[in-house]
Amino acid sequence: MSRPTLARSLARRIRRLARDRRGVEAVEFALIAPILVIVTVGVLELGLMVFDYHRAGEATRRGVRTAIINPPIASMSDLKSGTINCAGAADDSITCGASEMFGEASFPLIVQDMQGILPTIGSENIDVSYAPSGIASDDTPGMVTPLVTVTLVGYEHEFALLDIIPGIPASVTFPPFSTTQVAPAAAIPIED
């Protein structure tokens, strides 16, 4: 075959191939499919994250309800000098700074009830504080009704699938959730 004939034959085949539309859909799908998978996984992960965000708020509300119906964690005699802050630890214990511990058995109940809504909450994510409410009763002098606050801090939502994509973090840390309620009418005595 001569050189001009070979060139014409090759040009003819290229033109025929350029007009041939078979398989175009498969190539287009192969180019678009990874993007569709990433978007779908992203939407699913976002839905799971929003669901956990909602459950974190609900868990905090349940935690404060549990805290007000059980004995306080710290002695309320320290409430005269201001707010008592208690922080949970990874070993399921809680410390209240310099305050005397009173009802340590109440903390595991708070953790358990919060984990009933969001099982991945750890005791180190839970802080409980007691503050004077200023609500007193003329019938019960020397008694105080504290404001009880339960805060969920440092909670991380772990991604199920999204972390396989380079550049995407494996988790996101939620902002603190805090719920405050006044302790029930059964006020707690403060020692003089």
**pLDDT tens digits, 21-50:** 777 788 888 999 999 988 898 899 999 999
- Per-residue model confidence (pLDDT) at position 27: 84
The parts of the chain modelled with pLDDT lower than 70 are 1-4, 137-143, 185-192
**pTM to 2 decimal places:** 0.76
E-state strands within the chain: 84-88, 94-95, 126-135, 143-152, 156-158, 171-173, 177-182, 188-189
Residue-number span of the structural domain to which 103 is assigned:
3-189
Nearest in space to 174 (alpha carbons), one of 139, 125, 138: 125
- Per-residue model confidence (pLDDT) at position 141: 65
- Per-residue model confidence (pLDDT) at position 94: 85
Contacts of 159 (CB under 8 A, 6+ apart): 45, 49, 168, 169, 170, 171, 172
